[in-house]
Structures are given as structure tokens and as C-alpha cells.
Chain A
Amino acid sequence: MSTWKTLPAGVVSLQGLAGWLLAIVWVAPLLYAFWAAFHPAAYAVSFEILAPLTLDNFRQALTQAPFLRYGINTFVLVTLILAGQFLLCTLAAYAFARFTFPGKSIAFALVLVQLMITPEILIVKNYTTLVNLGLVDTIPGIAIPYMASAFGIFLLRQTFKSTPVELEEAARLEGCGFIRILLKVYVPLAKPTYLAYGLVSVSYHWNNFLWPLVVSNSVETRPLTVGLGVFGAPESGVDWSIVSAATLLSVAPLLIAFLIFQRQFVQSFMHAGIK
């Protein structure tokens, strides 16, 4: 049996080759979407290198559906959710990390339930609640169930707990109240956690579909995913090149952010998954 003492060079390059081949297979669907979007419909399945390039599909997509408006809606939605999450999760995490009160451990266990039972699982009841609150077909209505995020509370609690208590005591000696201590000591030291959580939250809600689909039913509230879902429905009979262009328009902001901040994205997702 050959030992791999003698193999490394060959094995490594073989591995590199296999990696490259699989990577090409993996990006092929996305590359194909680019091909279809930037070429006339006639070239959708005939791959001629010299096929003429065009931006016409993007122009068509933008005139057939208000993707710019959908994009703004998504942006507002994602910002609103993130702001709500940062505020509510910070306060709750602070309570769990640094205060003692009766029922704390039961309350924390109850919070963790939401890690598993996310709002879209309870779509039927939550929709009724939204009707009663008069929030159907509003962006705050899409956002509100996600603001008290168990995941955010959990992550921030961990971070706050690892902050040295001495820092808090020093601030208290200077006469800071507990809210100032939170803002001056805990929040600044948790910046990496906020960044990681923010990236995961933005990616999740940029891509979320089922709950926004149920809640929104007008151009003014529909986020990109729902707009794309309505646009790409097979029965609507739009052609492939235009659907591809619309798809790229919808994913472009997040995709570009990912290409630029690749490392942060990967690390945030890892951080988020392992907890």
C-alpha cells in the first residue's frame, strides 16, 4: 500500500482539479442565468460565444414589473426588522445576562422555543392576529413577528455574559445608570456579534418568501422575493431571458455584497449556525 508520504504533490493537484471541476458545476446555474439575461431570447439554449449581448431583457423586466419599487420595499423591510431586532434583542439579552429576577430561567427556555418554532410555521394563526391588528398588507406587518428574535437574544446574551464585570463596575463608580452602562460598555464590545447577526438577519429576510407572500398583496408592500414569485409564475408566460434578468435584479444587491464581504459572510453564517 502506498503511503501518502510520497503522494502529496500529486494528490494535492488532483484535489485542486476536482475542486475546480465541482466549483464549475456549482456556479453553472448562476452563470447560465447571466448568459440568458444578457443575450437575446433566441440564444437562451444555443451557446454561441459570439452571440450579441443586450440589456434589453433588463429593460423589459423593469417595464413589466416594478422591481425598483420591490427593491425599495425589501430594503425598508430588512432595515426595519434589523433595527427592531437590535433594539429588542439588546434589551432582552441584557436582562438575561446581567439581571436576576424571578422566573428568569423559565423565561429564557421559553425564548429558545422560537429558535425552532419560527413565525412562518404558525402562519395561519399569525395571519389572523395581523388581520386583528390591522397590519395586513403593510411592511411593518411583515416585519413585526421577527423583531423579538430568539436567535438574536441568544447570541447577544452570550456576548454580554463574556464581558468582564469589572468594566461595568468601573462605569457604575463613575455614576452611570444601567442604560448608560449598556450603551457605553456592553454594546460597543459586542460589535462583532452585531455584525455577524446583522449579516445573517439581512440575508435571511432579503430571501424570505412565505410569510411576506401571505401578508403583502400590493405593489407598495411586496418585497423582491414575492414580486419575483409573482413575475416568474409559469402561467404568466413571460420568456426565459426576461425572467433571468428579473432574477438577477432581485439577487444582485445581496450577491454583490457577498462577493465583496465574502469572508465576513462565511464567518457570520458559521458563527450563527454553531451558536
Chain B
Amino acid sequence: MHQSTSEKALYGWLLLLPAAILLFTFTYYPMAGTLFDSLVAEGRGSIASRFVGLANYRMLLEDQVFKTVLLNNLLFALGTIPASIGLALAMALMVDRSFTGRGLVRMAFFTPTILPMIAVANIWLFFYTPDIGLIDSLLSLIGIDGPNWLGTPSTVLPAIIVMAIWKEAGFFMIFYLAALQTISPEFKEAARIEGAGGWYYFRRVLFPLLMPTTLFISVNAVINSFKLVDHLFVLTKGGPDNASNLLLYYIYETAFSYFDAGYAASLTAVLLLILTTLALVQFFVFDRRIHYR
């Protein structure tokens, strides 16, 4: 039994249809709608909605909070990503060789990955609580009066960054572990015969070989840094004075606390632009990765 081409094409579309309807409803339609809304001033009462062009975007440029939030996103990414990648690589190298309890050590590194951010934030909230919190309690033992970590604009972002590093490093580690397994032991053997030291081998052989993995993790980490805001709900609500606020949380606040859907749409459009750019970067990174091999 052979179906005709047009019959097969019809079946193909029918199989795709349920997924296509949902993708249209919850991805393409809202994307287009967001861009449209961002160009329109919402009507209120008797005032009809009207096209305002880029006026909403001009509002963005004048919005001090928007600038703060973008800068925070940048600082959060810069603070979190290189450190967690460096740690991930160190962890992978540690557990790549066998030693007693290696399985347990690897599990310890990976565990934060499967915990919900909201639970992690609950635990860390107590570390950072002023005076009675764990960190300040320990500091007081050696006579230091610890700061209010989450209540001070200058310490709040670093405090959150430390927590994010803890959450992410173990996840990145598994990609390095996978990559290390693909590196031929002959490289190591050759380096040994040449009399190269361990550090030299790492710097000139291992690290360059791991570069595609590092790029892959970096781009994913940047993307994550724009998507992950759950912890703010527990730890700071974006405060104090927006010092820890991030773009997606600001969108949530604008839409669901200030009920300004038009402005939230403009903010979402910016987030869409950032993510699309990153997607293109990722695409070209992958392209290069393929040429490497």
C-alpha cells in the first residue's frame, strides 16, 4: 500500500496540527501581539486605543528603572557566568579522575540543579537575614557586625550572584564532563612524553579543546540569566530601590502590580529582541563548532 504524495502531505499536516495550534496560541500570536501592543496606547474608558508608533519606546529611554534593570541584568550575567563556568570546569576536572567517593562528590555538585529556585531562595534568605541570619551570626562570633546583605543596594546584587553561582555551576559541570570524555588520552600521553607540566597541558591543550563547550555553556548561561527571576519573589522583590530588579521581574511588576499592559508590552519587546539576538549568536556559535570538527 502506497499513499499518494498529496495524501501523505495531508497526513503530515494533520499530525502537526494539534501542536501547531498551541504553538500559534502561546508563542507566535503573543509575540506578534506584543510587538503590536508596544506601538499602541491602550484606550481607557471613553478614549479609544490609538497607534502611537515608537512613543512607548521613547518612554523606555526616559525610564530610570528600565536602565537600572538592564544594567542589573548585565551585572548579574557578568557576575554569575564567568565564575560559575570556572567553577564548573574545576569541578569537572576534579571528578574526572577516580578517587574515593567520587560519585558522592559529583552528586553534591549536581544537587542544586534539581532544586527549585524558590526553595533555594528560602534557604539562602536565612543565610542573608540581618543580625540573626547565619552569615551575620558567624561574623558576630569574630566580632564583625555584618551588613544587611539583602537590604543594602551595594550588597544585594553580589549576594544574589553568589547564590546563582551555587545553583548553576553543577549543571554546567556535566557538559564539561561529557566533553572531557571525548578528548583522546593520546593528547595527554603526547604531552607527558614531551615533558609538559600539568598546568601547561591544561592551558595549551585541554582548555582550547574545551573551547566549544565553554562557548556553548556561555551562551546558554546568558540566556538563563534573562529568564531566571524566581528568587527575587522570595529574596528582595527587586529591592531595595530596584537594586536587584531584573528585566523579566520588572515586566511582571509592570503588568501585574501596576497593570500597565502597554508598557509591559514594550518591555517584553526589548526582552524578545535580546533573546532573538542571543539565539542568532548561538546559531553562529554552533555553526563554528561544526566547522571545527
Which residues on A are within 8 Å of B, measured CB to CB? Answer: 1-5, 7, 11-13, 15-16, 18-20, 22-24, 26-27, 29-30, 32-33, 36, 44-45, 87-89, 91-92, 94-96, 99-102, 104, 107, 110-111, 113-129, 144-145, 147-148, 150, 153, 172, 175, 178, 203, 206-210, 213-214, 224-225, 228-229, 232-234, 240, 243-244, 246-247, 250-251, 254-255, 258-259, 262, 265-266, 269-270, 273-274
Nearest B residue to A45 via CB reads B137
B108 — which chain A residues lie within 8 A by C-beta?
23-24, 26-27
Q: How far is the CB of B216 from chain A (nearest CB, A)?
A: 8
Q: Does B234 contact A (CB under 8 A)?
A: yes
Q: Which of B10, B19, B25, B26 contacts A153 (CB 8 A)?
A: B19
B31 — which chain A residues lie within 8 A by C-beta?
113, 117, 122
Closest 9 CB pairs of A and B: A16-B99, A99-B12, A125-B30, A207-B116, A101-B12, A148-B22, A23-B108, A95-B15, A101-B9
Q: Are B99 and A89 in contact (CB under 8 A)?
A: no
B227 — which chain A residues lie within 8 A by C-beta?
118, 120-121
Nearest B residue to A8 via CB reads B97
Q: Are A274 and B268 in contact (CB under 8 A)?
A: no
> B1-26: which residues lie under 8 A (CB-CB) from chain A?
1, 3, 5, 8-13, 15-16, 18-23, 25-26
| Number of B positions contacting A (CB below 8 A) | 101
Which residues on B are within 8 Å of A, measured CB to CB? Answer: 1, 3, 5, 8-13, 15-16, 18-23, 25-31, 33-34, 37, 90-91, 93-95, 97, 99-127, 132, 134, 137, 166, 170-171, 174-175, 177-178, 192, 195-198, 201, 216, 220, 223, 227, 229-230, 233-234, 248, 251-252, 255-256, 261, 264-265, 268, 271-272, 275-276, 278-279
Q: How far is the CB of A199 from chain B (nearest CB, A)?
A: 10
